[in-house]
Chain A
Amino acid sequence: GAVVSQHPSRVICKSGTSVKIECRSLDFQATTMFWYRQFPKKSLMLMATSNEGSKATYEQGVEKDKFLINHASLTLSTLTVTSAHPEDSSFYICSASHDYTEAFFGQGTRLTVV
């Protein structure tokens, strides 16, 4: 149990376009989802926390207009990187938790902006 699926696993997009990444909890209802970002050879940094049906809470320094997060249902959260630029290239990974217990991670999405 506790499977989190993230899609796509890899995406290449042109500079200036927007990219949507999906995070789904397959066998449980995710009351809370988290989005992290990882630069090459670096650690993971929490970007935002999203609760179903409410606005996401962004960490300091994360542009909310740049990284749009929607948690429309108890099984799906999306991260949209708007007007992507090469500096947005990174590994993005989500995690999901149910009822304020430990979270489970998706497989991650490698975004390359060219």
Chain B
Amino acid sequence: SQQGEEDPQALSIQEGENATMNCSYKTSINNLQWYRQNSGRGLVHLILIRSNEREKHSGRLRVTLDTSKKSSSLLITASRAADTASYFCATDIEGWGKLQFGAGTQVVVTP
């Protein structure tokens, strides 16, 4: 069963705006990861955040993790048309690579 639930399911924004998506999960985790997937293609790993971390940055991406609420958020700042993709959170309960994926958020960035 899927560990993570994501919202919103879909997000449509204009270039330059920020995009925020959220992920909630059910059990304690070792780490949580965010991936991007362009239509019909493979996964691109964005960020891994461990259970003892609260926030991580990578370029225009910011990920937060609140283990007390069992939730995470991914913020994409100053979005670009190239950010159009589906974004998935995935939880790793034991820390050895076995992932459970959320349903995903489909992001469309219009020029």
What is A's interface to B at a CB cutoff of 8 Å?
Answer: 32, 34, 36, 42-46, 49, 91, 93, 95-97, 100-108, 110
Contact = CB atoms under 8 A, between A and B. Distances in A.
Contacts of A106: 42
A108 B42 contact: yes
B97 A32 contact: yes
Contact of A93 (B31, B42, B100, B102): B42
Given A95-B97, A100-B97, A102-B31, A44 B48 contact: no
A28 to B, nearest CB: 12
Interface residues of B, number: 22
Interface of B: 2, 31, 33, 40-43, 45, 48, 88, 90, 92, 95-104
Q: Which 3 A/B pairs are nearest by Cβ-Cβ distance?
A: A103-B97, A97-B97, A100-B96
B96 A105 contact: no
B98 A46 contact: yes
Given A43-B88, A110-B40, A100 B95 contact: yes
Contacts of B42: 93, 105-108
A105 B31 contact: no
A43 B97 CA distance: 17
A44 B88 contact: yes
Given A105-B45, A108-B41, A95 B99 contact: yes
Name the residue in B2, B96, B97 with the highest tally of chain A Cβ atoms < 10 Å from its Cβ.
B97
A94 B18 CA distance: 32
